[in-house]
């Protein structure tokens, strides 16, 4: 049920992620969808019926013109190709907007989007949810507690045989694939833990040529934390046969002068110090609307939306502002530069 103080928003896009984004908004409360746009209007109509959205459009500008006096923000849940044009449209109409990651297919596009939002004076956020996963938050808390001492290395692995293209076929068409799709998440987690990188070295490959256009395997080495910490990220969507598919779990191994921390399968966090090892299971909340195959990711959508909602209400500063995410995107493109040149790239 909507409250007078609920923020009112429009949805752009009616694809795979829209259902979970809308369910997460409904879960946290405090924001109600009042309009939805999709090029193929039948898909928007289906979501409008499912989520009680009163107004449906097949033209985003018509939506903004008709609804903007009544809108607090737009949640842009389109594929990557829709991110720049629709962000520019929100800037033109002076409406705050949340955009899915990755922000855009090139650094130039990202910078143009940032400029347009800044010129228009509109709040601009990126829906970057990975850092909101429960075990990722818990490992950050442990890192910040100092119990590991000087952290000199961190391994972040997200290696999967999952058919990610089944629900998101557009990913097969991307010239830049795994570093933009998954690398944005994982490099954002590295920044969340250790701040900005000083240099990046990256190697990529495509193990599914003819089936997908971009790289689907990437190994990224970062020097971070004022040179004190080396971070190695191993990423793959390679249809590799695995004993047990763990998509979309992220695994960690962190080494410090006073201890080590491991995040392994089933959200088990092992913390080892001179006193011994403690073991805890940090599982994500289980929402009825989440697709079990994406449980931890879908749960993190609710936490990410809650952070953005609080910022949209002026109650706090969001973690994943456009400005903050620009730093993640710059790292992604520095990784591409390294992969292309074979050199380590200073950041």
Q: Which is nearer to ligand 89V, 93 or 185 (CB)?
A: 185
- In angstroms, give the least distance from the CB of 275 to ligand 89V: 36
**Tokens at 308, concatenated:** 């953005």
Q: Which is nearer to ligand 89V, 67 or 181 (CB)?
A: 181
Q: Which is nearer to ligand 89V, 182 or 233 (CB)?
A: 182
Nearest to 87 by CA among 72, 102, 107, 103: 103
Q: Which residue matches tokens 């949209």? A: 312
Distances (CA, A) of 279 to 15, 141, 266, 270: 39, 15, 12, 5
Task: Specify which residues 290 forms β-bridges with.
Answer: none
Q: Residue with CB nearest ligand 89V?
A: 181
Q: Which is nearer to ligand 89V, 53 or 302 (CB)?
A: 302
- In angstroms, give the least distance from the CB of 243 to ligand 89V: 21
Asked if residue 38 lies in contact with residue 104, where contact means CB atoms within 8 angstroms, the answer is no
- In angstroms, give the least distance from the CB of 294 to ligand 89V: 7
> Which chain residues interact with ligand 89V by CB under 6 A?
164, 168, 181-182, 185, 248, 297
* Residue-wise burial string across 243-282, b where 16 or more C-beta atoms lie within 10 A, e elsewhere: eeebbbbbbbbbbbeebbbbbeeebebebeeeeeeeeeeb
Q: 31 preceded by cis ω (within 30°)? A: no
Task: Please tell me whether residue 54 adopts helix, strand or coil conformation.
Answer: coil
Burial category of 94 from C-beta neighbours within 10 Å (exposed 0-12, middle 13-18, buried 19 and up): exposed
10 Å Cβ neighbour count for 16?
17
- In angstroms, give the least distance from the CB of 153 to ligand 89V: 24
- In angstroms, give the least distance from the CB of 299 to ligand 89V: 12
Element (H, E) at 20: helix 16-28
Q: Which is nearer to ligand 89V, 160 or 229 (CB)?
A: 160
Q: Which is nearer to ligand 89V, 48 or 126 (CB)?
A: 126
- In angstroms, give the least distance from the CB of 332 to ligand 89V: 13
Q: Which is nearer to ligand 89V, 139 or 184 (CB)?
A: 184
At a CB cut-off of 8 Å and minimum separation 6, what does 193 contact? 139, 140, 143, 154, 231
- In angstroms, give the least distance from the CB of 185 to ligand 89V: 6
């Amino acid at each position: 049920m909507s409250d007078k103080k609920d923020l009112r928003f429009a949805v752009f896009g009616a694809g795979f992620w829209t259902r979970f984004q809308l369910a997460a908004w409904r879960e946290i409360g405090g924001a109600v969808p009042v309009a939805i746009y999709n090029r193929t209007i039948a898909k928007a109509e289906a979501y409008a019926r499912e989520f009680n959205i009163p107004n449906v459009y097949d033209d985003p500008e018509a939506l903004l013109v008709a609804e903007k006096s009544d809108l607090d923000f737009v949640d842009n849940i389109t594929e990557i190709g829709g991110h720049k044009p629709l962000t520019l449209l929100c800037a033109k109409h002076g409406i705050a907007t949340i955009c899915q990651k990755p922000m855009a297919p090139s650094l130039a596009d990202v910078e143009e989007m940032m400029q347009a939002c800044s010129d228009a004076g509109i709040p601009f956020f990126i829906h970057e949810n990975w850092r909101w996963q429960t075990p990722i938050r818990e490992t950050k808390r442990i890192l910040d507690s100092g119990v590991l001492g000087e952290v000199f290395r961190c391994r972040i692995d997200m290696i999967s045989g999952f058919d990610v293209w089944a629900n998101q076929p557009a990913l097969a068409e991307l010239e830049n694939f795994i570093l933009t799709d998954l690398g944005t998440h994982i490099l954002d987690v590295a920044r969340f833990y250790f701040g900005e990188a000083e240099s990046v070295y990256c190697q990529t490959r495509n193990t599914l040529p003819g089936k997908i256009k971009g790289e689907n395997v990437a190994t990224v080495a970062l020097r971070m934390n004022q040179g004190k910490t080396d971070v190695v990220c191993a990423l793959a969507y390679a249809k590799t046969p695995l004993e047990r598919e763990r998509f979309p779990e992220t695994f960690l191994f962190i080494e410090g002068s006073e201890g080590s921390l491991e995040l392994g399968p089933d959200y088990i966090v092992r913390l080892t110090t001179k006193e011994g090892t403690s073991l805890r299971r940090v599982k994500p909340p289980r929402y009825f609307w989440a697709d079990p195959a994406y449980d931890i990711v879908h749960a993190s959508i609710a936490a990410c939306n809650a952070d953005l909602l609080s910022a949209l209400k002026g109650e706090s500063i969001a973690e994943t502002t456009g400005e903050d995410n620009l730093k993640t995107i710059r790292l992604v493109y520095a990784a591409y530069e390294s992969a292309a040149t074979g050199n380590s790239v200073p950041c």
